[in-house]
Structure 1
Amino acid sequence: MSFASWGNALYSGRKSYKFIDNRKYLLIAGVALMLISVLAISVLGLERSIDFKGGTEFTISSVAGRDQAPAQKVVNANPKLKGSSVNSVGASSIRVQSVSLDTTAKRQVVSDLAKAYKVPEAKVAATTIGPSWGADVTYKALQSLVIFFILVALMLWAYFRTWTMAFSALFALCHDVLITGLVLALTRVEISPATIIGVLTILGYSLYDTVVVFDKVRELSVDFEQQTRSTYGEIVNLAINQTLVRSINTSVVALLPVTSILLISWITLGGGTLRDISLALFVGMIAGTLSSILIAPSMLMLLRSRTEKISSHTQKVLEKRAGGSDQIEGQAAELSRVAQPLKAGHHQGQQAQPKRTPRSKR
């Protein structure tokens, strides 16, 4: 079966994956991952960049290769540089980040690094970021996340006119943020302003994916309580299957350039801003795609299945099926909601015209 045929089968309902039937397991797995993420972030912590925690940064440019050993020797020999990090930046630069140093100590480090790499002192740049600046950047980053979540909640409530969809979408966004944080904590990649930009970007991407699924749910569930062929859970499951191919295509197209940037920045350039933002995008897009398909609809069904409207309708459908008065069963009931697929190259032509009575028999 080709990908196009597979997608056609999903959309028409001839093929269906039982996402909603397994919603409890999906939610348990999602919540477990979120708890593991919180635990890992709490124990390991996030490696904040100098932009957030403040300190002094030394950048040695015009270095032949990306050998970090000379800089590491300087760090080990200077007690004031204890706990400093050494990283390669780009193809010919080395970066050393330490706690805030006074002017005298800073000049000494510049001199030592210049001698270690046999470059003029002019090639060693020293920048100091105060703790107040770092605290302000941290506050702004957290503030932007809070504002984003508030605006998302208001927008979803206004668009869908139901708090269950808004809550489910926010739950999926929290899942994406925590999974991204888990990967950042495990890889020890620094959290920089570029990382925050990447996180906000993937939140928007994940939200868009979730809204597409929920919009399809709303479309298929219009006046659903007036029929007894499909339960609300079957309608939600059909909506997921109908948008599955679109979600896969969008994710693959978006991940291809992000993966290229991530590999180039990590392997060739050795890190930096491109790596920070591309890693957050890479992890967040994968988590966002999965959450929009598996987590958000499952949470929506968990919340709505407890309402009187949904539970009574589901009971009515199941009773009618058990009584044998409804000949349409399971997913076959969902086929009535979508157009039947046409065979390529085939049309009814004149067969679609009404039959006419011969002139002699009029």
Structure 2
Amino acid sequence: MSRFGNIGHRLYTGEVSFDFVGRRRLWTIISGVILVAAIFGLTVRGLNLGIEFKGGDIYTITKPGVTVSQAQKAANDLTGDSSSLVQTASSSNGQQILIQISSAEKVDPTKGQAALTQSLGLSQNQISTQSLSASWGHDISQKALYGLIAFMVLVTAYLAFAFEWRLAVGALVALLHDLVITVGVYALVGFEVTSGTVIGFLTILGYSLYDTVVVFDGLKAATNKLTKQNKMTYSDAANASLNSTLVRSINTSVLALLPVAALLFIGGGLLGAGVLNDISLALFIGLTAGAYSSICVATPMVAWLQEKRPEYMELARKVKQRRAAEAKAAAEGRTLEDEVPQEVTVPAPTGGPRNQPVNRTRNERRSSGGRR
């Protein structure tokens, strides 16, 4: 741990530096490949929407001793295929088995409950049915979309006011990058999208933006009055700022991922908590993508946009000239300081003030000549 702290101190002071900004082409290629795969999954495979979005019936079985395989077989016999979803969940009454049958199967809820009761040997109080309409999921999706649009408008206005519009563009690109990757992973792997997943998607927005703003705050301080020198370009200053906050970004990401991983692998995996599993899975993917984008996407994009400005283009030209002069001086075994001319000091006069001739008029000169 002390070694990691030493590396963090060396990063902060600039003794060690990773060229994140200079490798923006590499990060663009990596992000581009991931985004293409994510968009391919969305367009070709699509999202595996849960029963909240498609509509259907949920049968809850509370009888002890019923296994998932037995419930799955009974559901398959009821629908005539394997489209039904069977999950386990924990409640205050103990372990439960949930059977989800889509409305596309056209199974009457009353007949479905009777068939499952007979197949699994259940009593009337050991099974319950809940019917969901597809309109509920549509309303949730619509409200989530409105919330996303309002969030992005407010974030853009805030970042443009607190920083400037180029930093706002970088933050929004990183934010969309994280959302598309998270949704694309769901499409590629086939994870079910539920209402808990939507909550996880919206939660990603806040964290991704927080991590990016932390980096941008250091960037703003590092590039203040940057054009008054000729040793660093904007990309150099941005990279130095990014390295100084790198350990903080990593620590923040790790501390955020640890409880999410506990929810995902312990709460969802071992305890069978379905809602926790849906939320934590979206958070885990989104937080990982957010940690990457705040370092490798947002800041390199801002540096690219800023160096299109005339003042930073002129700064880059001055830095290039200085570095060429330094390289030439180093090859000749001297430094640029040797070429700086010494300031010439003009010695003050040692004598008193000289007597200046008196400017006399013509009449005065004639009168003085007559007296002589």
Q: TM exceeds 0.5?
A: yes
CA 1:104 to 1:156, structure 2 compared with 1: closer, same or farther past 3 Å?
closer
- Which of 233, 239, 254 is the aligned partner of 1:237? 239
CA 1:308 to 1:131, structure 2 compared with 1: closer, same or farther past 3 Å?
same
Paired position in structure 1 for 2:27: 26
Paired position in structure 2 for 1:357: none
Q: Which has the higher contact order (CA 8 A, sep 6+)?
A: 1
Give CA deviations for 1:55-105 in whole Å, capped at 9, x if unaligned: 22111124426x222222223223477732222223722222223399982
SS in 1 for 2:88: strand
TM superposition shift of 1:4: 1.2
- Are the counterparts in 1 of residues 152 and 172 from structure 2 also a CA contact under 8 Å? yes
CA 1:79 to 1:190, structure 2 compared with 1: closer, same or farther past 3 Å?
closer
Paired position in structure 1 for 2:188: 186
Unmatched 5+ stretches in structure 2: 331-372
CA 1:81 to 1:109, structure 2 compared with 1: closer, same or farther past 3 Å?
farther
Matched, 1:294 2:289: no
Matched, 1:111 2:114: yes
Q: Could you tell which deviates more after superposition, 264-273 or 289-298?
A: 264-273
Aligned sequence identity (%): 37
Code of the residue aligned with 2:319 in structure 1: it is V
Q: Could you tell which deviates more after superposition, 268-277 or 223-232?
A: 268-277
Question: How many angstroms apart in 2 are the aligned matches of 1:35 and 1:13?
Answer: 36
Matched, 1:130 2:130: no
Paired position in structure 1 for 2:76: 76
CA 1:140 to 1:196, structure 2 compared with 1: closer, same or farther past 3 Å?
same
- Are the counterparts in 2 of residues 229 and 326 from structure 1 also a CA contact under 8 Å? no
TM superposition shift of 1:187: 3.3
Runs of 4+ aligned structure 1 residues displaced above 6 Å come to 101-104, 325-328
CA 1:206 to 1:101, structure 2 compared with 1: closer, same or farther past 3 Å?
closer
Paired position in structure 2 for 1:359: none
**Aligned counterparts, 1:1-362, within 5 A:** 2-64=3-65, 67-79=67-79, 83-90=83-90, 92-100=95-103, 105-160=108-163, 162-324=164-326
- Are the counterparts in 1 of residues 38 and 188 from structure 2 also a CA contact under 8 Å? no
- Are the counterparts in 1 of residues 51 and 132 from structure 2 also a CA contact under 8 Å? yes
For normalisation by structure 1, the TM-score amounts to 0.84
For these two proteins, the number of residue pairs brought into alignment is 326
- Are the counterparts in 1 of residues 60 and 128 from structure 2 also a CA contact under 8 Å? yes
Code of the residue aligned with 1:212 in structure 2: it is V
Q: Could you tell which deviates more after superposition, 119-128 or 292-301?
A: 119-128
TM superposition shift of 1:135: 1.6
Question: How many angstroms apart in 1 are the aligned matches of 2:36 and 2:267?
Answer: 31
SS in 1 for 2:100: strand
Unmatched 5+ stretches in structure 1: 329-362
Question: How many angstroms apart in 2 are the aligned matches of 1:64 and 1:175?
Answer: 46
Code of the residue aligned with 2:127 in structure 1: it is V
- Are the counterparts in 2 of residues 321 and 327 from structure 1 also a CA contact under 8 Å? no
TM superposition shift of 1:53: 2.1
Code of the residue aligned with 1:60 in structure 2: it is I
CA 1:101 to 1:108, structure 2 compared with 1: closer, same or farther past 3 Å?
farther
TM superposition shift of 1:326: 11
Provide the alpha-carbon RMSD of the alignment.
2.4
SS in 1 for 2:58: strand
